[in-house]
Amino acid sequence: MKNILLFSLLFASTASAQHNLAAFSIWKPKEGQAARFEAGYKKHLQWHIGAGDKWNWYGWFIISGDRAGQFVDATFGHEWRDLDHRVDPAGDGADNDLHTDPFADYLTGYKLQRLPFSDAEDSITLGARYLRMLTIDVTNPHAAAALVESLATGLRQQSHPFLAYEMADGGRLGQLILLIGARDFADYGLIAAWQGQLLDLDHRSAKPVITAITAETLVFRRDMSINL
């Protein structure tokens, strides 16, 4: 009985870990076309609903940094093989041609794999009013992830949702991406200096591994999200 229970726990853990893929896309509204892009993207989401798409889709606008004004959409909790079974790819493309492409440039798409110590990707975490997105360039992803994990407890004690990923495709491999939720800017202020703790810990290690950190703020658009 003990062996059966152990096997069941290991199987459940492995099955959960397999659904750790997130797919991101970045759009840049064309000059003077932001409102039309928003309206068109909402229509495109209605196409997904009508096509029976069960994937979750979250949307944010970046409001700080060099990419301010760009739109991010993402879907979470997938396996690689799920990408072979998207809902009606041809119809999806045709609807994009009609409702989104005329008003925005599709800049890039990339895949992230959630790290084991990350919080769960639920609608509370991902639906926070703001997400502080930290992009961390490293020389050793495993060592950098261990540093992040060692400081994650402090964030959780402050009740800040915390998601951690490693770049898997479409970007600089080994790069870490962190998403930290905040209810408002007062709450945001409690995490604004968190990366300083991370850098300090790294600098005090025998072999520092972090080469750069980029910070951006994402504001959640529930009206441009579905299946949460």
d(CA 89, CA 140): 37
d(CA 108, CA 207): 33
d(CA 53, CA 74): 14
Give the domain range for residue 160: 114-220
Same domain, 126 and 200: yes
Same domain, 107 and 119: no
User: pTM, whole model, 2 decimals?
Assistant: 0.89
**Residue 3 in domain:** no
**Residue 225 in domain:** no
Q: Single out the residue in 76, 111, 146 at which a domain terminates.
A: 111
One digit per residue, the tens of pLDDT, for the chain of length 228 reads 334 334 333 333 444 457 999 999 999 999 999 999 999 999 999 999 999 999 999 999 999 999 999 999 999 999 999 999 999 999 999 999 999 999 999 999 999 999 999 999 999 889 999 999 999 999 999 999 999 999 887 777 777 778 999 999 999 999 999 999 999 999 999 888 889 999 999 999 999 999 999 999 999 999 999 998
Same domain, 41 and 124: no
CATH number where 96 lies: 3.30.70.100
Number of domains in the chain: 2
**Residue 134 in domain:** yes
Phi, psi of 196 (to 5 degrees): -65, -40
Same domain, 73 and 124: no
